[in-house]
Amino acid sequence: MIPATSKPQTEAMALKVYDLWKSYQQHSVVQGVNFTLNPGEILGLLGPNGAGKTTTVGMLYGAVKPSRGFVQLGEYQIQAQGRDARSFMGIVTQEDNLDPDFSVIENLIFFAHHYRITGKAARERAGELLARVGLQDYARSPIDELSGGMKRRLVLARALINNPKIVFLDEPTTGLDPDARQDFWRLVSQLKQNGCGVLLTTHYMDEAQRLCDRLILLQNGKTIDEGTPAELIERTVGKEVVEIEGVSEEILQQLAQESQTWYRPFGSSYLIGLPSDNPHQLWEQLDGMQPESLTRRHTNLEDVFLRLTGTSLE
């Protein structure tokens, strides 16, 4: 049970990460990660499978012990004062892990007991949260009658039972249909508006680009870049890119060198960036080769990962 604390619930709290490392048998899976998550900010932690995201998030809320460095939430250092710190945290893991023996509202009431919220206060808080996530009409329903999107909303409601200052969302919309994802996005945006700091991991680039104020890109446990979505896109891949098929890699490599731009394999085709200062010259050269397919479009976060890591997140 998490003990009650005398710290005012109205006080904003930042999460600060200092030189975080994690090694297993001489193999470092997280290496020197530093960042601050501010109140009212959504920070995205992105990277391909094996980049160290899950291990990093585990260290942030105390489930994984760092090999070096530390994490601090407000005045609490997570490694030494994890129980106190977690009273200000909400955690949405990849698994729903709801109790099928309880109804929707009973899941919240039971979880509230971990924070010493009991009786009438627990029922009222559970009711408030069900209304907040749009599940008030399902309060008495069994868990197995909920859709996947409803379960994710209930898990978020459960994570908010203690009025957290920091919420961790670990791939919260994986497997949801587009409408359910949009519903979840609205709830996450409300957390930000209410001054909550949110740390999000996701494989969906549209989700990261839409929700996150800043992004940290991880590869092999290291931070390889960080910034706003717009900054990362323009700095890494420029404003426009061409998808092309039916032209040899040798030719594209030569054109990229001549135009001082980049190219990457992309499935059965290739991506080649258009130089921001003179995009038309390279575009006309590519078009004149009469390739099997040719598409010109604006760049996005997926292009950033393809260029930096050679892999796609999805």
Write down the residue that tokens 């979505």 correspond to: 229
Residue 313 belongs to a domain: no
Alpha carbon distance 90, 169 (integer Å): 9
pLDDT value of position 260: 94
**Final residue belonging to a domain, choices 182, 199, 232:** 232
| Phi/psi of residue 55, nearest 5 degrees | -65, -40
Residue 307 belongs to a domain: no
In the β-sheet with 27-37, what is the strand arrangement from edge to edge?
27-37, 15-24, 68-73, 76-77
Tally of domains within the chain: 2
| Same domain? 49 vs 170 | yes
Q: Looking at residue 271, which CATH number applies to its domain? A: 3.30.70.250
Structural domain including 85 reads: 15-232
| Same domain? 273 vs 221 | no
| Same domain? 39 vs 165 | yes
Residue 1: band (very low, low, confident or very high) from pLDDT cuts 50, 70, 90? very low
| Same domain? 166 vs 277 | no
Using DSSP's 3-state secondary structure scheme, residue 189 falls into helix
Intra-chain end-to-end CA distance of the chain, in Å: 38
| Same domain? 275 vs 215 | no
Residue 185 belongs to a domain: yes
| Same domain? 113 vs 179 | yes
| Same domain? 227 vs 129 | yes
Reported as a single tens digit per residue, the pLDDT across 162-185 is 999 999 999 898 888 888 889 899
Q: Which pTM was predicted?
A: 0.88
pLDDT beyond 50 at 138: yes
Helix axes 148-159, 178-193, angle to 10 degrees: 20
Q: Are strands 42-46 and 197-201 parallel, antiparallel or unpaired?
A: parallel
Residue 10 belongs to a domain: no
Residue 175 belongs to a domain: yes
